[in-house]
Structure 1
Amino acid sequence: MATSLKNLSQYSDKNIIDIKSKKFGILVSEWNEEITESLFSGAVDTLLKHGAQKENIFRKNVPGSFELPLAAQWLAAMEEIDAVICIGCVIQGETRHFDFICDAVANGITNVGLKYNKPVIFGVLTPNNQQQALDRAGGKHGNKGDEAAITAIKMLGF
Structure 2
Amino acid sequence: MSKTTRATVALQQAGVSFTVHAYDYDPNAERIGLQAAEALGADPGQVLKPLMVLVDSRPACVILPSDREVNLKKLAAALGGKAAQMMKPADAERLTGYHVGGISPFGQKKRVPTVLEQSALEHAEVFMNGGQRGLQVKLAPREAAAVLDAKVAPVI
Q: TM-score, normalised by structure 1?
A: 0.31
**Which structure carries more relative contact order (alpha carbon 8 Å, separation 6+)?**
1
- Higher relative helix content: 1
